[in-house]
Amino acid sequence: MSESFDDLIAQAQQKFAQAPDLATLENEKAKFLGKKGAVTELMKGLAQLEPEQKRQRGQQINQVKKQIEECLNQRRHEFAQAELNQRLAAETIDVSLPGRGRGMGGIHPVMQSWQRIEEIFRSIGFAVADGPEIETDWFNFTALNNPLNHPARSMQDTFYTEMQDDDQLPLLLRTHTSPMQVRYAQQHTPPIKVIAPGRTYRVDSDATHSPMFHQVEGLWVAKDISFADLKGVYSLFLKAFFETDDLQIRFRPSFFPFTEPSAEIDMMFSTGPNKGRWLEISGSGQVHPTVIRNFGLDPEEYIGFAFGSGIERLTMLRYGVNDLRQFYEGDLRFLQQFNR
């Protein structure tokens, strides 16, 4: 091969080696192998040669072309390799980095109380029942001795829906869990011992009232029980719920249409920040004869005791929370405290 061919190869090799990146390399390639490149020009020169000379020189030029291509491919390969190495370096996983982990979910404090209440009452032989939150006027009021136009209805400011029941009265969001007394007693035979925890609704909103809140209803119907049994059960419940015997309980006369006599249950801690203060915790009473009749039972034969307590109220007292709205704001700083 002539010296000028060697020069050309050396020149290509040098230019390729000097190319700092792939784009420059491809530009340099055009200068040698492109349509107007040096090798192509040499090929064009073949046309004027004799056949024998043409064959020989043609072979030589092909040889040159091949070598230049080899140099090119090698350099291309170098660039590919460098790029790969760079990516590998950039994408390395730092196995020593601590994991992000997943936040652990927790049970809402009101639901924790709900669960505790069920546990405690189950342990003393009570069943747990569940009922509709959208109620008929009859179950929510009338069956509970609270007929249409009775002034006691205004004790519970009610959300009405636009749907009507069979009596053409608007369906409503139950204002208490007491309709469950009637629903359950109609379907079970005494003795009945049941609690019915659940959501309830009233048009009410301030630091101690939320439009949606939770109650737990309790009902005990039998032939041979007395107010003392209600008192005993409820006292046991409170002591178990607050995990202390250091509390006093009193039944203060009150009024509910569906109980007679009726009593507000108050409690007082003997220790702690609420020490010495009576706190209202539940409504209660002996089930009114009219309501017993609506159960489908004879009030001369059966006697019933009922209570209805606010689950938020119990939760606030248990944990010392003073604004009920905090339960529904979804602030994790507040909620996490109950799940440690």
Please state the closest distance from residue 143 (CB atom) to ligand PHE, in A: 13
> In terms of CB distance, is 54 or 188 closer to ligand PHE?
188
What does the alpha-carbon distance between residue 145 and residue 234 come to, in Å, rounded to a whole number?
24
Please state the closest distance from residue 242 (CB atom) to ligand PHE, in A: 20
Residues 6+ apart with CB under 8 A from 336: 106
Task: With CA atoms as reference, report the closest residue to 36 among 47, 46, 27, 48.
Answer: 27
> In terms of CB distance, is 37 or 218 closer to ligand PHE?
218
> In terms of CB distance, is 19 or 291 closer to ligand PHE?
291
What does the alpha-carbon distance between residue 150 and residue 138 come to, in Å, rounded to a whole number?
13
Q: Bridge-partner residues for 268, per DSSP? A: 248
Rg of the chain in Å (alpha carbons): 44
Please state the closest distance from residue 256 (CB atom) to ligand PHE, in A: 4
> In terms of CB distance, is 37 or 283 closer to ligand PHE?
283
Please state the closest distance from residue 207 (CB atom) to ligand PHE, in A: 19
Task: With CA atoms as reference, report the closest residue to 130 among 165, 96, 93, 179.
Answer: 179
Say if residues 201 and 228 touch (Cβ distance below 8 Å).
Answer: no
> In terms of CB distance, is 284 or 294 closer to ligand PHE?
284
> In terms of CB distance, is 145 or 178 closer to ligand PHE?
178
Please state the closest distance from residue 101 (CB atom) to ligand PHE, in A: 43
Please state the closest distance from residue 281 (CB atom) to ligand PHE, in A: 11
> Which amino acid is it at 211?
P
What does the alpha-carbon distance between residue 222 and residue 89 come to, in Å, rounded to a whole number?
79
> In terms of CB distance, is 78 or 266 closer to ligand PHE?
266
Interface contacts to ligand PHE, rule CB under 6 A: 176, 178, 256, 259, 283-285, 306-308
Q: How many Cα neighbours within 13 Å face the side chain of 72?
A: 20
Please state the closest distance from residue 306 (CB atom) to ligand PHE, in A: 4
Task: With CA atoms as reference, report the closest residue to 172 among 210, 138, 214.
Answer: 138
Please state the closest distance from residue 144 (CB atom) to ligand PHE, in A: 8
Tally of CB atoms within 10 A around 40: 15
- Verify cis geometry, omega within 30 degrees of 0, for the bond prior to 191: yes
- Maximum C-alpha span of the chain: 135
Task: With CA atoms as reference, report the closest residue to 140 among 307, 285, 291, 289.
Answer: 291
> In terms of CB distance, is 42 or 292 closer to ligand PHE?
292
